[in-house]
Amino acid sequence: MGAHEGIDKKPKKKRKRKQSAVKDESVEAENLKAFNDPEFCLQRGTSSYGVQPVGNLLYQESLHNARDAGLGNLRLLTDELLLDILGLLSAEDLGKLATVSKAFYVFAHQDSLWRNLVLEEFRGEFTFRGRWKNSYVSTRHPQFTGPPHVPLKVKGFYSDYIFQSWLCASLEIKKEWLSRDNIERRTSLTLDEFIRDFEEPNKPVLINGALDHWPALEKWDREYLLQHAGEVPFACGPVNMKLKDYYQYADLVEEERPLYIFDSKFAEKAPQLSEDYDIPVYFREDLFSLLGDSRPDYRWLILGPARSGSSFHIDPNSTSAWNAVVRGSKKWIMYPPAVVPPGVFPSPDGAEVASPVSLTEWFMNFYEETRRRKEKPVECICRAGEVVFVPNGWWHIVINLEESIAITQNYVSRSNLLNVLEFLNKPNSKELVSGTAERETLFDSFRRAYEKSFPGSMEKLQVVAEEKARRERQKVSFWDTVADGKQGGGFKFGF
């Protein structure tokens, strides 16, 4: 989310769901009977339409699956592909399709289809009614006085894909996912110590006490934000929603990927909010500010309910970032640049990333792997009044553990300047650079602005970087080189 938790700041993402073989004898979603795995606990009441995992079919006397019987020849398609096709239909067509069979009834009522219809047709001008279909009907036909949609429970319908979507929206966050906290925490950190111990070595840190003077820590409750920005439309996923409407959505939402506010123009839209915080002393050297108004997007207001957040990504333009929690708490998992997180598959050029559909799905299917791997991630829970430093190039995932409000900013200091320039000068910078329309010219304009303000310092930074790289290469001692057999031809001096 910096610590970006946003949508446009990360590379294009190909979503994919890991098909799960869920060991479950019977799932009664409506009354929230416990999921068979004792380590999981259901906490939400959203209907599953009776859908069960395919593994449950093995416990039945008959192997009849209402899914296949009701889809006809379309049964040969995967559930994911079928939902993609149904996503091309209008609301009227989905309503008609739901009457064809029990199988089409389940597919045509998937909330993801109606969510897309609402967001595409009404943008942010809607009132959320608990389910996306109800929201569509009440917005499209405000005079409609009939009862809201009540889901039917379909018997004998088995689908791992649909079941896991419901499960990810219904599970409590496991305590095991929150127990590990190994980030270095510092209080009363001086600027020189921060640069020496964390910024220059590109190492994360959680800082306490840096926000104690922020008025936002005292002011930013829901009442205050609604008073000063309730009518303000903030960026929320692909649309803009008034804050008052978003809060209604956040109070009622029960889906695996909740929308959350992630707005880079919040200070212009609600100037009062920008007066309630300042940049912590550690992050005030921001060389992108030399570009003035033409700099890439760099600061965001982040607000969302529990389960909302950002899947694994690297922050844009090779910048470093800080993320300060004003209300609530967030779980962080971070991997250094050379270690790709489990369940994450970046393209060779870094322009696209394939990862699980939702944050909960990643935790369900891949968090345990982080414990088995040799390369352990940096983890923490960041609470109100604390700030996380995210070094450039680090992978990170962030999930809200409760309704949370945060400020995040990306910045470029001299410690990271050469990395940023190298990134901006890549051959495919048009695909990689984000937050600005000047993607192909950003390198030239930024370098010129820096050299004009700090003549001659670029060469000094390059000398320092080369010396640092030389020292890193020398960390492999002579005896290590001999022992690992890389010299070839037996023992010989390496100079």
Give mean pLDDT, residues 166-184: 92
pLDDT at residue 277 tops 70: yes
State the pTM of this model. Answer: 0.85
Domain with residues 199-208+219-446, CATH architecture: Sandwich (2.60)
In contact, 237 and 261? CB cutoff 8 Å: no
Angle value at C-alpha 162, between 370 and 365, nearest 5 degrees:
5
If you average pLDDT over residues 404-414, what whole number do you get? 97
Counting residues of the chain whose pLDDT is more than 90, the rounded percentage is 71
- The dihedrals phi and psi of 117, each to the nearest 5 degrees, come to -65, -45
pLDDT at position 150? 87
For the cut 60, the answer to whether the pLDDT of residue 185 exceeds it is yes
All residues at 6 or more sequence positions from 260 whose CB lies less than 8 Å from its CB, including other chains: 5, 236, 237, 302, 303, 304, 305, 308, 309, 400
What is the average pLDDT across 427-449?
Answer: 88
pLDDT tens digit sequence for 190-218: 999 999 999 999 999 999 999 999 999 99
The pLDDT score that the predictor gives to residue 439 is 86
pLDDT tens-place string over residues 21-80: 444 434 444 333 434 555 566 666 557 899 999 999 888 888 899 999 999 999 999 999
pLDDT of residue 321 exceeding 70, the answer is yes
Residue 408 has pLDDT above 90, yes or no: yes
Name the strands in the sheet holding 12-15, side by side, starting at the edge strand that comes first in the sequence.
12-15, 352-355, 345-346
Sequence spans of domains, the chain: 18-175, 199-208+219-446, 455-483
**What is the structure's pLDDT at 46?**
59
Between CA 475 and CA 101 the distance in angstroms is 68
| pLDDT, position 39 | 58
Place of tokens 């499209």: 140
Q: Which pLDDT tens digit goes with each residue over 248-262?
A: 999 999 999 999 999
Q: Give the model's pLDDT for residue 16.
A: 52
pLDDT for position 483: 44
End-to-end CA distance of the chain: 47
Question: Is residue 491 predicted with pLDDT exceeding 60?
Answer: no
Residue-level pLDDT at 38: 55
Residue 147, pLDDT score: 87
- 121-170: per-residue pLDDT in tens? 999 999 999 999 999 999 999 998 888 888 999 999 999 999 999 999 88
**Residue at 196: amino acid letter:** R
The pair of three-digit structure tokens given for residue 362, joined into one six-digit string: 């990643």
3-state secondary structure the chain: CCCCCCCCCCCEEEECCCCCCCCCCCCCCCCCCCCCCCCCCECCCCCCCCCECHHHHHHCCCCCCHHHHHHHHHHHCCHHHHHHHHCCCCHHHHHHHCCCCHHHHHHHCCHHHHHHHHHHHHCCCCCCCCCHHHHHHHHHCCCCCCCCCCCCCCCCCECHHHHHHHHHHHECCCHHHCCCCCCCEEECCCHHHHHHHHHCCCCCEEEECCCCCCCHHHHCCHHHHHHHHCCCEEEECCEEEEHHHHHHHHHHCCCCCCCCEEECCHHHHCHHHHCCCCCCHHHCCCHHHHHHHHCCCCEEEEEECCCCEEEEECCHHHCEEEEEEEECEEEEEEECCCCCCCCCEECCCCCEEEECCCHHHHHHHHHHHHHHCCCCCEEEEEECCEEEEECCCCEEEEEECCCEEEEEEEECCCCCHHHHHHHHCCCCHHHHCCCCCCCCCHHHHHHHHHHHHCCCHHHHHHHHHHHHHHHHHCCCCHHHHHHCCCCCCCCCCCC
Range scoring the smallest mean pLDDT among 76-85, 140-149, 483-492 = 483-492
- The pLDDT tens digits for 284-299 are 999 999 999 999 999 9
pLDDT in tens, 6-38: 433 334 444 555 544 444 434 444 333 434 555
User: What is the pLDDT of the chain when averaged over all its residues?
Assistant: 87
Give the CATH fold of the 18-175 domain: Monooxygenase (1.20.1280)
Rounded Cα distance between 72 and 49, Å, is 20
Once rounded to an integer, what is the mean pLDDT over residues 393-399? 97
- Confidence at residue 456, expressed as pLDDT on a 0 to 100 scale: 83
Report which of 368, 364, 370, 340 is spatially closest to residue 354, judged by C-alpha positions: 340
Q: Identify whether the C-beta of residue 277 lies closer than 8 Å to the C-beta of residue 325.
A: no
Amino acid (1-letter code) at residue 359: L
Q: Is 296 left (phi over 0), alpha (psi -120 to 50) or beta?
A: beta
- pLDDT at res. 430: 81
**pLDDT band of 384, cuts 50, 70, 90:** very high
Residue 357: the pLDDT is: 83
